[in-house]
Amino acid sequence: MTSPEGPDPRDAEFLASYDPHAFERPSVAVDVALVSAFDGALHALLIERPAPPYQGRWGLPGGFVGIDEGLQDAAERVLREKAHLDDVFVEQLYTFGTPGRDPRMRIITVAYYALVDRARFERAQAKGLQLGRLTVPWAGEAGGPVSVSAGDDSPRALAFDHDQILGLVVKRMRGKLNYAPIGYELLPEEFPLRALQAVHETILGRTLNKDSFRRRMLATGELAPTGKRERAVGHRPAELYRVVPRTLE
């Protein structure tokens, strides 16, 4: 940053003789966990690695950060190029930099997670990404790796440390659910409260009391009735709600 007094002439002198190759430098990548919740489980979209390292294993969509590219820009580019998705909730998760995490060279990856409703998730899946159903072996926010299986319950072996990345996604979602409206990102624009409860239960990995959940969510002021009801369902149609847009005070 230029100081109010202008550039320091000593900087120009220093940079003129500076050798950027004098020190070893790691490469920087981004990996994006694209997550949705349906059928009683969390799911992520994966890519099968066509070549070594970890050929035949599954990994999160990712890529190297361009020399003139911001980290968030790189994550959004990965979503556009590999999942054909724009305008989705994307948040930086954590930086994974354990030496040896990638056998090719020293690579530090900045992990992100993106949340989408089932319809957008399935459209992204149709672009060639494969579904991975997450199994979380720990309760609450204990944290740790998760395992992933295909639609037929066969295991999907993950590359690198992507089981740890997905585990941290689950931990982050569980930790934020009670104070941030991330559950709404996993639902369509209009939804019944039953569907919202199912999303919360799927994220938390436990059942919730229907009446207390309904009272708590309506008391937040974040939801408004649409005046519509479900259609073409095999039970009594439930009232549909939408998220109230936040306004700046």
Is residue 199 within 8 Å of 186, Cβ to Cβ?
A: yes
Q: State the DSSP H helix or E strand holding residue 124, giving kind and residue range, or none if neither.
A: helix 118-125
Residue 108 pLDDT more than 70? yes
Model confidence over 178-211: pLDDT tens digits? 899 899 999 999 999 999 999 999 999 999 999 9
Ranges for all domains in the chain classified under CATH 3.90.79.10: 27-176
pLDDT grade, residue 8 (50/70/90)? confident
CB neighbour burial string for 183-193, b if at least 16 within 10 angstroms, e if fewer: bbbbbeeebbb
pLDDT grade, residue 233 (50/70/90)? confident
How far is Cα 160 from Cα 92, in angstroms, rounded to an integer?
A: 19
27-176 is a CATH 3.90.79.10 domain: yes
Mean pLDDT of 87-112: 96
Q: Give, in degrees to the nearest 5, the angle at Cα 101 between 100 and 103.
A: 60
Q: Which of 197, 201, 188 is nearest to 228 (CA)?
A: 188
Position 151 scores a pLDDT of 83
* pLDDT higher at 8 or 96: 96
pLDDT grade, residue 5 (50/70/90)? low
Model confidence over 152-173: pLDDT tens digits? 899 999 999 999 999 999 999 9
Model confidence over 203-223: pLDDT tens digits? 999 999 999 999 999 999 999
Residue 141 pLDDT more than 80? yes
Position 23 scores a pLDDT of 86
How far is Cα 180 from Cα 186, in angstroms, rounded to an integer?
A: 13
Position 248 scores a pLDDT of 45
Ranges for all domains in the chain classified under CATH 1.10.10.10: 189-243
pLDDT grade, residue 4 (50/70/90)? low
Architecture of domain 189-243: Orthogonal Bundle (1.10)
